[in-house]
């Protein structure tokens, strides 16, 4: 069974763990349609990762400029500015890492998604392929693993916690949230309130 099919490119879901080079974890994955994913987690990931998701064409240049200014002044680590569209393109078609070749290929891959898919479809695929822990792919698998429930029943707090570990779920843990993760969870909950659930009606 294939995880996803895209013109010229496809991934067998059983092979994803090998593509990532980690053989210690059994892959956990269940595809669900966006209609079966709680609006709470949809809004949480948008609030956390890409609040201009509906406005941009794949790249948030305002966020990129802010990240550049922050990185020039800060010694606390690198701040990224990847949109949900960019992260989806990377997870589908490219390898992990920060080298210039991969970043360069990310541009046409993201443009291709934006030209061929609706925002709703991009969000649906993102939520189904994002990693939420070692070998845990997609919000359905994550919801069942961490909260023993379907993704359609996630509460706001649970959704914000899942979103808080993105895009680095190997460093930040849902089941062992650090103070930083808890602070981000609280921030995401505030942002969800600011955006409002009506935001999703425009997808």
Instruction: Give the count of domains, the chain.
Output: 1
Within a domain: residue 133?
yes
Sign of the C-alpha dihedral computed for residues 176, 159, 48 and 93 taken in this order: positive
Q: Residue 122: what pLDDT? A: 97
CATH number (domain holding residue 198): 1.10.3810.10
Closest by CA to 14, choosing from 33, 35, 29, 31, is 29
> Cα 103 to the chain's mean position, in Å?
17
Name the E strands within the chain: 2-6, 9-12, 28-29, 136-137
pLDDT tens, 61-117? 776 677 556 555 655 554 456 899 999 998 888 766 666 776 778 788 999 999 999
Asked if residue 152 is part of any domain, the answer here is yes
Domain of 97 in residue numbering reads as: 22-202
| pLDDT in the model for residue 102 | 67
> Taken in order 134, 76, 79, 164, is the CA torsion positive or negative?
positive
pLDDT of residue 22: 52
Domain assignment present for 13: no
The answer as to whether 154 is a domain residue is yes
- Please tell me the predicted confidence (pLDDT) of residue 71: 54
Is 124 within the bounds of a domain?
yes
Residue 184, helix vs strand vs coil: helix
Is 15 domain-assigned?
no
Predicted confidence (pLDDT) per residue in 188-203, tens digit: 999 999 999 899 999 9
Domain assignment present for 6:
no
Residues counted in the chain: 203
For 163-189, what is each residue's pLDDT tens digit?
999 989 989 999 999 999 999 999 999
Give per-residue pLDDT as tens, 33-50: 999 999 999 999 999 999
C-alpha dihedral (153, 118, 95, 4), degrees to nearest 10: 70
The H-assigned helical ranges of 117-169 are 119-129, 139-147, 156-164
What pLDDT was estimated at residue 8? 38
What's the sign of the alpha-carbon dihedral 190, 36, 133, 148?
positive
For residue 119, tell me if it sits in a domain.
yes
Among 53, 163, 62, residue whose Cα is nearest residue 113: 53
Higher pLDDT, 20 or 175: 175
pTM here? Answer: 0.81
């Amino acid at each position: 069974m294939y995880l996803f099919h895209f013109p010229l490119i496809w991934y067998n879901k059983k092979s994803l763990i090998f593509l990532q080079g980690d053989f210690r974890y059994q892959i956990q994955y269940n595809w669900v349609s966006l209609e079966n994913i709680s609006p709470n987690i949809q809004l949480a990931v948008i609030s956390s990762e890409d609040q201009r998701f509906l406005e941009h064409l794949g790249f948030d240049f305002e966020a990129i400029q802010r990240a550049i200014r922050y990185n020039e002044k800060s010694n606390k680590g690198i701040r990224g500015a990847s949109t949900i569209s960019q992260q989806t393109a990377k997870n589908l078609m490219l390898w992990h890492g920060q080298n210039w070749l991969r970043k360069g290929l990310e541009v046409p891959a993201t443009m291709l998604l934006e030209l061929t898919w609706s925002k709703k479809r991009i969000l649906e695929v993102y939520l189904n392929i994002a990693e939420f822990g070692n070998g845990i792919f997609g919000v359905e698998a994550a919801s069942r693993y961490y909260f023993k429930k379907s993704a359609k029943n996630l509460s706001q707090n649970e959704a914000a916690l899942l979103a808080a570990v993105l895009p680095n779920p190997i460093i930040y843990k849902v089941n062992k949230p650090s103070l930083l993760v808890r602070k981000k969870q609280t921030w995401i909950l505030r942002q969800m309130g600011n955006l409002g659930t009506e935001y999703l009606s425009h997808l």
